[in-house]
Structure 1
Amino acid sequence: MAASTILRLQTIVSRELDASTPTVLTVSSIHAGDAENIIPASATLKLNLRTLDASLRTQALGAIERVLAAEARASDAPAPPTITPTSTFPFTVNDGAATATLEAAFGAHFEPGEHGYATDAPRLSGSEDFGVLASAVRRPSSFWIYGGTDPGAWDEAERKGSVREDVPINHSAWFAPAVMPTLRVAVDAYAIAALAWLAKGEGK
């Protein structure tokens, strides 16, 4: 029943949701029994859903509930599935005016170029609680990122076509950003962001 449920869940993104908006549904943890000769009485699946659109999230959550209930019924389970929400994060959407102010300040300080400041960073699907900081006090916010990989190492990985293998991301056990210029860029960015408002006497 757990295996059939996992297979069916994988069809939600590919068959039911708008393919033009990235959505990720992952069954990242499965636990059912601990002996090879005993059919377990229960199975626990842990799911992670990431969307960039509120309506798609609602649609996906409804589809997940429908699939879980249908697969349990198809397998003649003695009880309906129990669904327990664990962690959830709000959508992080940059405020247009705040972002424009930051872009002007960052653009004036940081050098543009292949390894410099860029305004065309792609949307991310990572789980992030940053949005709570602004929504809790009803203030605009803007989320930015900065790299920590040595440009030479990145260029070499790109040349070999091995970026995914040779450039560890921040959740990897091998993640080790180059201290410089990463630290300098990060400190400069935070200081400039604050001064973009405070130096003008427009702190809010």
Structure 2
Amino acid sequence: MLAVQFQTSHEPTVRDTRDIWEIRQELKKEQELHEQLLTEIRKYEETLEKYEQQREESKGAILRQTVEELKKEAGLTEVVGEGVVLYVEQMYDESYVGPVTDTVSADLLRRLINELNMYGAEHISIADQRIVNTTVIRDINGVTKVDAHPLRFFPIEVKVIAADAEKLYNRLKASTIADDFALENLQLTISEPQQRVVIPPYDGTVRVEQMEAVEDDRR
């Protein structure tokens, strides 16, 4: 006990022997380090903010791209691509005597569209009327209509875009669809594959059935 007390009482006191200048220098270094750390923190915060902004912008870009793709699939945008153009004309010579066909039957047009789809057609228009999933082709009082558009004048132009225009052309040439038109005194002419075929957007009202809004109940 006495030994411990003796050792403690005789242990020298450690004092800061630095002068004022040295202490100021140390304080300055600490302040510089503190500022450097704050600068690094701000830099990382700005980097994180940029990443968040880019992610939000990326989400928006993806959403816009998805909307455009859906609109394209629905036929609501103009499309340009390789394809062929078909012309439907009356087939009469000067010696013909009899009734004159002044329209093309709805049934024949539907058969043509079915064949085009089988042969790889991606986009179709008839007399500049875009054909979409909801398009109705029917006979009203002896006049064939594509939706509400009447087909009263010849030639009737049918534009088709396909991934492989050459293949589409060859299959159409080998088809008997032209003979079906001839039976109605109509001539179906198929153009050579073209590099640029422009098909207009659907200009009607898209009918959406069996769909309803869903309320977002997330908290």
TM-score category (smaller protein): under 0.3
Which structure's CA Rg is the greater one?
Answer: 2
- If asked which structure has higher relative contact order (CA below 8 Å, sep 6+), I would say 2
- TM score, norm. by length of structure 1: 0.27
TM normalised by structure 2 equals 0.26
Instruction: Name the structure with the higher strand share.
Output: 2
